[in-house]
A = this chain, B = another copy of it.
Amino acid sequence: MIRIGIYGYGNLGRGIESAISQNSDMELVAVFTRRDPASLKINSDARVMSASDALSMVGKIDVMIICGGSATDLPIQTPELARHFNVIDSFDTHAKIPEHFDNVDASAKAGSHTAMISVGWDPGMFSLNRMYAGAILPEGKDYTFWGKGVSQGHSDAIRRIDGVADAKQYTIPVDEALTSVRSGSNPELTTRQKHTRECFVVAKEGADLARIENEIKTMPNYFADYDTTVHFISKDELDKNHSGIPHGGFVIRSGVTGNGNKHIIEYSLKLDSNPEFTASVIVAYARAVARLASEGSFGCKTVFDIAPAYLSPKSSAQLRKELL
């Protein structure tokens, strides 16, 4: 059995807990929280412990899955914990990945542990598919589309506008752009041509709706470069119809071989629950981390460094027989 610890118990942590229950070679040993452990109700029989007591579990946890946020938690937590545990995180600030990798790598090597960063679907499975497709079709072009799905960052940005009580934002890929990419015509697409943004907003009583709509649509970086639709709805409607966290997207490589023969490689995800799917990817890679650690392969890894077979509970002979 692979003994797992969950460090941080939000949406992602709960998703990990649920994913572990689908994998019979894994066991959730403990959930670590910065809240008062006595106040935290979890969905399994695992121990709930204070994050500050984590080191008392050294030797009792094979892989610590760190479920903090990328902005301020993971840059500190992952290097710290990698000194004492095999770890895995879902660090997703793309621009800071090289720096995070170096910090975690140094720390994991110092502690003789295996660490893995930026696991999930983007970064994660999308990155992997960009890499495979690019290696197979060196002469080609990559396209990534996101959605339809809820962007937490954009929803938060709307909520910070004066007069907004609550909000949910969907990122939606533009069908015409997808069709054009799939045709192999290798179009140059602007930000506006690739995605639209749809916002469901609950306004506070008496708020100026026209002003809110204008503030959303003209917000730099978040909305100004997109065709944005704003719907004002009631809190009840928001809770009833927009409480899920769906997401997904498309990674497409359009390439050419030989005498102008076109090829389209497409990987797509349609996810009812973004955090539960991300958790499922992480849990499969936690298996790989445990195995690599037991082989003495220390330091920091990413999805690019790990042979696919390490993710599966099946033996290599079984994989060849059943899946090749």
Please give the residue numbers on chain A whose beta carbons come within 8 Å of chain B beta carbons, in ascending order. Answer: 15, 18-19, 22-23, 94, 97-98, 101, 118, 123, 125, 127-132, 134-139, 182, 257-258, 261-273, 276-277, 279-281, 284, 287, 302-309, 311-313, 316-317, 319-321, 323-324
Q: Is the CB of B127 within 8 A of A311?
A: no
A136 cross-chain contacts in B, Cβ below 8 A: 125, 277, 280-281, 284, 311
Q: How far is the CB of A324 from chain B (nearest CB, A)?
A: 5
Q: How far is the CA of A97 from the CA of B97 in the complex (A)?
A: 39
A269 cross-chain contacts in B, Cβ below 8 A: 263-266
Q: How far is the CB of A259 from chain B (nearest CB, A)?
A: 8
Q: How far is the CB of A152 from chain B (nearest CB, A)?
A: 17
Partner of A284, one of B97, B135, B313, B319: B135
Copy number in the complex reads 2
Kindly list the 8 A-B residue pairs having the minimum CB-CB distance in the complex, ordered from nearest.
A261-B272, A135-B311, A261-B273, A304-B309, A264-B270, A257-B276, A135-B284, A135-B312
Q: Is the CB of A134 within 8 A of B324?
A: no
Q: How far is the CA of A261 from the CA of B276 in the complex (A)?
A: 8
Q: Is the CB of A130 within 8 A of B323?
A: yes
* A305-B307 in contact given A22-B257, A131-B319 (Cβ < 8 Å): yes
A123 cross-chain contacts in B, Cβ below 8 A: 324
Q: How far is the CA of A53 from the CA of B64 in the complex (A)?
A: 56
Q: Is the CB of B135 within 8 A of A320?
A: no
Q: How far is the CA of A268 from the CA of B270 in the complex (A)?
A: 14
Q: Is the CB of A302 within 8 A of B320?
A: yes
Pairs across A and B, CB under 8 Å, 9 listed: A15-B258, A22-B139, A123-B324, A125-B132, A132-B308, A135-B312, A136-B281, A264-B268, A304-B319
